[in-house]
Amino acid sequence: MKPARIGIYAFLLMAALFFLAPLYVMVVTSLKTMDEIRLGNLFALPSHVTIEPWRAAWSEVCTGASCDGIRVGFWNSVLIVVPSTVLPILIGALNGYALSFWRPRGAGLLFAVLMLGAFIPVQVMIYPLVKILAAVGLFSSLPGIVAIHIVFSMPVMTLLFRNYYASIPQELFKAARIDGGGFWRIFAQLMLPMSTPIVIVAAIMQITGVWNDYILGLVFAGSENLPMTVQLNNVINTTTGERLYNVNMAATILTSMVPLVVYLVSGRWFVRGIAAGAVKG
């Protein structure tokens, strides 16, 4: 244990405490009663642990005119996240495969246009997309918000899979071609089975991105399909009645639970996928 190593560990410990402090405050506040919260001991452990704020946040808190809790937003987010993750990954894998091995005419221009789309701010494209979805009858609907997430995810998904497939030896593709494999057969039987690491990376990025989205869900989902983040905003920013800080904290933790679980469960796969070629090219 040299002084330099001790300094590194001390810095990492301070950084961890700095980032974990807000989470600690949220957890202990969500387990306190309002009478105990009013005492002002922000970092103190609860003297009487209660899970009533969690139950109220899930099934009773008002998220606008409705008082059914944020569970409605949870299931709305699930309905949005599942197709908004599966479809972009399939389309991005297909795009990356085509641009890496088959290289159709204009592939370089197509890839450049896709990458350009990754740098255009979302706010710039909201109004044109509203007009387009309204014209085709998809505005304020579940298919509409899913289509929006697919559009905005295409540049990153294509980049991930293209760079991953570019790291695969061309000899494998040529051998499959010699054996009579066509475009779809090589993709389904060779490329997809080899894509597990980068698929996990893409799934983690897409799940957390779509789940944490606020502005797109607010604009395009419609009142019946509002995701959990929008309903959480309605809970916290309510201006009527008593401000229940314990319920607000419980609702916030419940909203962030899915991305936290995804990272905790799949973190090692994320690192493996990155090392396997996600940033090569």
| Phi then psi dihedrals of residue 208, to 5 deg | -65, -40
Q: Where are the domains of the chain?
A: 3-50, 71-278
CATH fold for the domain made of 71-278: MetI-like fold (1.10.3720)
Please check whether residue 200 is in contact with residue 85, taking contact to mean a CB–CB distance below 8 angstroms. no
What does the DSSP 8-state code read for residue 99? I
Radius of gyration of the chain (CA): 23
Query: 81 is written with which tokens?
Result: 């996240």
| Phi then psi dihedrals of residue 7, to 5 deg | -65, -40
- The contacts of residue 276 (CB under 8 Å, 6+ apart) are 164, 167, 197, 198
Query: 222 is written with which tokens?
Result: 């419609």
The CA distance from 69 to 86, in Å, is: 28
pLDDT by residue for the chain (281 residues), tens only, comes to 788 899 999 999 999 999 899 999 999 999 999 999 988 888 899 988 999 999 999 998 888 777 888 999 999 999 999 999 999 999 999 988 988 887 777 777 877 887 787 788 888 889 999 999 999 999 999 999 999 999 999 888 988 898 888 888 888 888 888 888 888 999 998 888 888 888 988 999 899 999 999 999 999 998 889 999 999 998 888 756 678 899 999 999 999 999 888 888 876 776 666 655 544 44
C-alpha dist (Å) from residue 130 to 113, 115, 121, 220: 22, 22, 15, 7
